[in-house]
Chain A
Amino acid sequence: AQKITQTQPGMFVQEKEAVTLDCTYDTSDPSYGLFWYKQPSSGEMIFLIYQGSYDQQNATEGRYSLNFQKARKSANLVISASQLGDSAMYFCAMREVNLNNNDMRFGAGTRLTVKP
């Protein structure tokens, strides 16, 4: 079964506007971590933001925030004041703490294009 689902293959946003990238996940582990990564066309994966399953508040890092809705098992990334340099692939990932492994499960990604 797919652990991480990103339903938006591509998204467009006007420069300086906000955009939300969707991510839903599936786990029976009560303890898990959720991550968002950015992958520019050059290929490297850049860590953006982390949310723990027991965190009471939504995570924020500069222009990035995570809209964490635990009951709905969603962890949407919000990018405020979009910039042209935000154009990239964005991946949602999850690590389940209580499983005896340390790998992350990645979604298929969303390609964000920021229009001038």
Chain B
Amino acid sequence: DGGITQSPKYLFRKEGQNVTLSCEQNLNHDAMYWYRQDPGQGLRLIYYSQIVNDFQKGDIAEGYSVSREKKESFPLTVTSAQKNPTAFYLCASSMIPRGGSQPQHFGDGTRLSIL
């Protein structure tokens, strides 16, 4: 079945450590996104990419980095510079939203906690 796969489901980070969250999609979507969700809140955009080897910062990019070497993959690295990384991270993809009507499809998320 087509969809978005995020791994791992749960991740623990030690102080000063970088960790990478995986996101893979087989929907043939050009655009991919990373969101952060804090308890009881909505989603905030970290990074997005519309094409391979290109990506743009969202509202809260500081302390995060991404790469887009393949259309299917958009990994997110939470660096040691992100001082409050504990959150639920959601990856999404969509067709390039010409006309605005294409919904984003989401993975099941990764819960990141600090040890």
A43 closest partner in B (C-beta): B109
Say which residue of B88, B97, B101, B106 sits within 8 Å of A102 (CB atoms): B97
Within 8 A of A (CB), among B2-46: 31, 33, 35, 40-45
Q: What CA separation (Å) do A43 and B111 show in the bound complex?
A: 10
26 contacts between A and B (CB under 8 A): A31-B100, A33-B99, A33-B101, A35-B103, A35-B104, A42-B108, A43-B109, A44-B108, A45-B43, A45-B90, A45-B92, A47-B104, A50-B101, A50-B103, A52-B100, A91-B42, A97-B97, A103-B33, A103-B48, A106-B35, A106-B43, A106-B44, A107-B42, A108-B40, A108-B41, A108-B42
Chain A residues within 8 Å of B, Cβ to Cβ: 4, 31-33, 35, 37, 42-47, 50, 52, 91, 95-97, 101-104, 106-109
Chain B residues within 8 Å of A, Cβ to Cβ: 31, 33, 35, 40-45, 48, 50, 56, 58, 88, 90, 92, 94, 96-97, 99-101, 103-109, 111
